[in-house]
Amino acid sequence: MADRIDPTVKFRFAVQISDVTVGWFTDCSGLSVERETVPRPEGGVNDFTHQLPGRIKQSRVTLKRGLADNALWSWFEKGLYDGKVLRQNISIILYNSDLSQKKQWDLENAYPVKWSGPDFQSDSNQAAIETLELVHHGLKMIDWAST
């Protein structure tokens, strides 16, 4: 298993790019896929509307973590000035407390669309949190408990 980047035990999500762990995270949101529906009323039937399946909509994935290295900033920075973003297949892996893999989500052709640095407060002992938002073109889930 790859070395942990952040020493905090509560970091349970790891992000891998090309099978290399680039960060450990405390928060991951937006792992969702939604099927839109297309309403189609039927002629002569006034109390019912058919709901036909439509397009699939992928949501943005948001990752939050304590500051560590610059791998995710460097990824965001590619294409900052020329618009040529670097699309990569990434994996988000959830670990059990014994660091065995529990679940994995693979994002296809992902790239960062927003990076937020930490909010600093001199009277607080909160950890500095970095946030990265990603868009992608497909989501696949692997449940390691059932494999």
Domain boundaries along the sequence of the chain:
13-34+54-146
Q: What is the pLDDT, as a whole number, of residue 54?
A: 95
Of 24, 31, 28, 30, give the one whose Cα is nearest residue 10.
24
Q: Which two tokens stand for residue 69?
A: 């290295």
Of 69, 63, 67, 73, give the one whose Cα is nearest residue 27.
63
Q: What is the pLDDT, as a whole number, of residue 116?
A: 83
Q: What is the pLDDT, as a whole number, of residue 127?
A: 66
Q: What is the pLDDT, as a whole number, of residue 2?
A: 52
Q: What is the pLDDT, as a whole number, of residue 3?
A: 55
Enumerate residue ranges in the chain where pLDDT < 50: 5-8
Predicted TM-score of the model (pTM) = 0.77
Q: Contact 115/131 with Cβ under 8 angstroms? A: yes
Sign of the CA dihedral running 54, 138, 109, 23: positive
Q: What is the pLDDT, as a whole number, of residue 14?
A: 86
**Backbone torsion region of residue 68, taken as left when φ is above 0, otherwise alpha when ψ lies between -120 and 50, otherwise beta:** alpha
Beta bridge partners of 94: 13, 103
Q: What is the pLDDT, as a whole number, of residue 125?
A: 66
> Which CATH architecture is the domain 13-34+54-146 placed in?
Roll (2.30)
Q: What is the pLDDT, as a whole number, of residue 113?
A: 92
Q: What is the pLDDT, as a whole number, of residue 8?
A: 46
